[in-house]
Amino acid sequence: MNRPPPHPTLDLAVIGNGAIASLLDRNGTHLWCCWPRLDGDPVFHGLLGPEGTSGQFSVVLDGQRTATQHYLPNSAIVETILADDAGNSLKITDFCPRFRQYGRVFRPPMLIRRIEPLSGMPRVTMSLRPSFAYGAQAPTPILGSNHIRYPGEAFTLRATTDLPLAHLLHEKSFSVLRPGTVVISGDEPLTDSPDTLFTRFHAETLSYWRTWVTDLSVPFDWQEAVIRSAITLKLCAYDDTGGIVAALTTSVPEAPGTGRNWDYRFCWLRDSFFTIAALNRLSATRTMEMFLGFVLDTVEGGGAGELPPLYPMAPGMPVDEYIATHLPGFGGDGPVRIGNGAASQRQNDAYGAIILSLAQLFVDQRLSVRGDTTLYKRLCPLGEIAEKVALQPDAGIWEFRGMQRVHSFSAAMCWAALSRLALIARAIGREADAQDWAARAATLRAEIMRRIVTAEGWLSGVLDRDVLDASVLILPEIGFIRADSQEFLKTLDIVAARLVRGGFVLRYEDADDFGTPETAFLLCSFWYANALALAGRRDAALDLFERILAVRNHVGLLSEDLAWAAGGKPARLWGNFPQTYSQVGLILCAMRLSRTWEDGLWRAS
């Protein structure tokens, strides 16, 4: 059998359906799949080891020489083509069913895999080895009539197939003479044969995604990249509660050997704001409507007072951080952390993130769910807290664990909470409230500006100190400052001089809890490109944007960080995957930089 490379990469494709998601490598091996939801137990954990086939679902072609992989256009269905030198080849199709049925979206925790011969008589070995409790428990397979059960303490997986059970159970090679299907689901019998189920679910799922994409308002340029990012963001949203994970994985290091390994399978209020902003720009407003339910049911359900920056996907689930000792980590680069200690931090931008995320509900007349006076009154206490904490120290957007300061981004997001409450109040006819919120926002903005402009005239990332931080690049986007102001133009220049490495942008230049940053943060590079465009430096923005597009993996996806090319080595993606921040940045930059449809189509020369 072919073995995985000694140093894994993030050349991964993602399938999912709003309940679960799975990451597949170039050979079509399932390496990461949490069950029965996005933040659950990884029944496939091969992405984080140990090396071999444990915690994986693979199909290996005897004598395999090549593997190609692609998404079916405008869908979340992946096809992988394996071939050998003897003329034998086969196609593997992977997807999670998602489509409308009985007036609602059908999205069961289910993986469907189809293998079919394309040429010759390909001979394959299939290995299906799920595990439980983060690699601590290997189930003993139980053979059924047309299925294999994998029992665990919390749940049991069932693999139903029309392929030879003995070959799957004992991992013996066999010839693929006709198409065969494997359905991995909960421990319930299927209502149809695997072949019938595949045919119907594949057609319905493909139709669902293509209809969803048809309804997007995409830019003229970079449509394929934007559509892929939009679908990926959709796969990071958990339909049941409306929460949105920051990424589908845990503990893929931000940089090798640094210990910057975090669990991103939680809903950060800030990340959700950016995701919703990107999907709203594309007219995919349903995610915003669902997030409203998450805020009202989960966030407000926690009681009055200051908010934590992140929440689990479902109420009551633990966020306490611990180490999964049975998993060695990405290429052995541990630790593997479960939970996230940032949940106990103060991050003052959360209030602005919620209000910014929901403001469109009050002004967009297309929406079926609209903001009203009742919702406004529920948001007002968040504005009051934002005003109170705006100039108080916090851990900031980068979640420093060893220091608290008054961060410019957090303060500006608190200003945004007050500013948008003024907009909301005006939209629902409460003019006196609108004037009050606007006056309070103006007072706060004046104080922030007095304290973040350095003696050299650029914007500091920390009030009352000279700290260069890429997060200030977002301030024009939220309306805090004009992009053509002298302070912001000087900030662009100093970012170019001190934060750009290898053509990409660092988060900051100073050492943090884990030392000096070693990788570029892709969202910061997108922020910089967007800021350049807003400031009228379009050519520089286009150059940077195209540079970022070039580092996407083979199916157009991005992680969080990038080790830039140096010493003859190519640039390499690092960090949790796929990162919603990065896909958001791609969408917003493309929307900013694209030609209009009128210019691109009607005025094309």
Please write the tens of the pLDDT for every residue from 210-263: 999 999 999 999 999 999 999 999 999 999 999 999 999 999 999 888 889 999
* Contact between residue 544 and residue 527 where contact means Cβ atoms under 8 Å apart: no
- CA-to-CA separations, 140 to 112, 136, 150, 157, 355, in angstroms, rounded: 22, 13, 6, 11, 49
Cα angle 364-105-12, degrees, rounded to a multiple of 5? 95
pLDDT at residue 593 in the model: 97
Say what the pLDDT of residue 7 is.
Answer: 58
pLDDT at residue 431, rounded to an integer: 98
No. of helices (H) and no. of strands (E), the chain: 14, 26
pLDDT given at position 3:
37
Q: What confidence score (pLDDT) does residue 570 get?
A: 78
Provide the pLDDT for residue 54.
80
Answer with the residue of higher pLDDT: 51 or 91.
Answer: 91
Pairwise CA distance, residues 485 & 584, whole Å: 25
DSSP secondary structure letters along 525-571: HHHHHHHHHHTT-HHHHHHHHHHHHTTS-TTS---SEEE--BTTBPP
User: 164-179 pLDDT, tens per residue?
Assistant: 999 999 999 999 999 9
Q: Which helix (H) or strand (E) holds 448?
A: helix 431-452
Instruction: Return the half-sphere exposure (C-beta side, CA atoms, 13 A cut-off) of residue 264.
Output: 26
CA 140, chain centre distance (Å)? 34
Amino acid, single-letter form, for residue 444: L
> The tokens 């410019």 sit on which residue?
408
- Per DSSP, the residues of 299-355 read IGGG-SSPPPSEE-SSTT-----EE-TT---BTTB---EES-GGGGS--TTHHHHHH
Contacts of residue 598, defined as CB under 8 A and 6 or more positions apart, other chains included, come to none
Spatial contact of 412 and 475, defined as CB atoms under 8 Å apart: yes
Fold of 215-602: Glycosyltransferase (1.50.10)
Task: Using alpha carbons, select from 320, 314, 312, 378 the residue that is nearest to residue 351.
Answer: 378
Q: Is the pLDDT of residue 459 over 50?
A: yes
User: What pLDDT sits at residue 1?
Assistant: 35
pLDDT tens digits, one per residue of 267-299: 999 999 999 999 999 998 989 989 988 888 877
pLDDT attached to residue 316? 77
pLDDT greater than 80 at residue 67: yes
- Residue 368 pLDDT exceeds 90: no
Residue 497 CB coordination number (10 Å):
9
Tell me the mean pLDDT in the region 187-205: 96
The DSSP code sequence of 42-60 is EEE-GGG--SSSTTEEEEE
- pLDDT value, residue 6: 46
Residues whose CB is less than 8 angstroms from the CB of residue 256 and which lie 6 or more positions away in sequence, other chains included: 331, 333, 563, 574
DSSP letter assigned to residue 460:
P
148, containing H or E segment = strand 147-151
The SS3 of residue 111 is strand
**126-153 pLDDT, tens per residue?**
999 999 999 999 999 999 999 999 999 9
Q: How far apart are CA 409 and CA 69, in angstroms?
A: 40
Helices (H), 165-218: 165-170, 194-214
- Residue range 433-443: average pLDDT? 98
d(CA 466, CA 468): 7
CB-based contacts of 388, cutoff 8 Å, min separation 6 = none
Residue 494 tokens read as: 């100093």
For residues 460-482, give the mean pLDDT: 97
pLDDT reported for residue 190 = 95
pLDDT in tens, 296-324: 887 765 556 789 999 999 887 889 999 99
Give the pLDDT confidence score for residue 303 in this predicted structure.
57
